[in-house]
Amino acid sequence: MTEQAGISIQQIVEKVWLSIAERRLRPGVQLKEGQMAAIFDVSRARIRQALAALEREGLVTIIPNRGAFVCQPTVDEARDVFTIRRSVEGRVVARIGASVTKADLARLRGHVAQERTANTNDATTDIIKLSGGFHLLLAEISGSDFLFGMMRDLISRTSLITAVYRNTARFNCGPDEHAEIVDAIAAGDLKKASGLMEHHLEHVESELDLREVRDMSHDLRAALA
C-alpha cells in the first residue's frame, strides 16, 4: 500500500479520537511518531500533521524535545471546566436574547436531528462531537466572538473529559435536553432556557465517573487496532 492510497490525516485523527472516546487509549500515553507511522503505514511527516491537528482539538499535548502525549485532564480540572461552562453558557443564552432568527432556530433544530441520528446509531465519536457542537453553535448565534472563542476552548476540553470519564453504563445525554433549550429560546423564554442549560450541564457532569483514570491501555498498537 502506498502512502497516497493509504489512510488520510483526518482518518488518523479520527482513529486516535475514537480510541480515546472508547477508553482504549490512556491519557498521558506518548504517541510516538515512528510507532504510529508503522501502525498506519504512512510517513512520519503525515503523523506529525495528524498530531498537530489533534493538538488543535485539545486532545494531544506536544512538548518540545519530548514528543506528543494524550492530554491528561485531572478530576479537579474536569470540575473546574464545568463550573466555568455554567457561567459562560448562561451568558451565551442571555446574549441570544430576542435576536435569534428563524434561520438560527432551523440550524439548531437540524443539529439536534443529527444528534438523534448519532444516538440511534450508537456512534460514540459523533455523539460526543455533536453534543459539543450544539453548544458551540449557540455561541456562534450569540454573535459574540469572545464567547465563541471561550466556548471553543471549553468544548475541546469537555470532549476529552467526557471521553476519559464517561460512564459507559449511564452516559446518554444530549438531544432531548438540547431540544428543550431550543424550544425555550424559540418561545422567547430566556429565563427558562438559562435554567434548562444549567440543569443540562449539571446532568452531563453527573453522568461522568469523576475518579482517577484506570484500566486504559499504554499499548498504541492494541489501542489503535
pLDDT digits over 110-169, tens only?
Answer: 999 999 999 999 887 788 788 888 999 999 999 999 999 899 888 878 877 877 787 765
- Structural domain includes residue 1: no
Residue range(s) defining the domain that contains residue 119: 75-206
CATH number, residue 25 = 1.10.10.10
2 has a pLDDT exceeding 50:
no
- Structural domain includes residue 159: yes
- Structural domain includes residue 47: yes
Q: Both 108 and 191 in a single domain?
A: yes
- Structural domain includes residue 173: yes
Which pTM value belongs to this model? 0.74
What per-residue confidence (pLDDT) applies to 85?
95
Which cell numbers hold the place of 164? 476519559
Q: Both 158 and 109 in a single domain?
A: yes
% of the chain exceeding 90 in pLDDT: 56
Q: Both 88 and 121 in a single domain?
A: yes
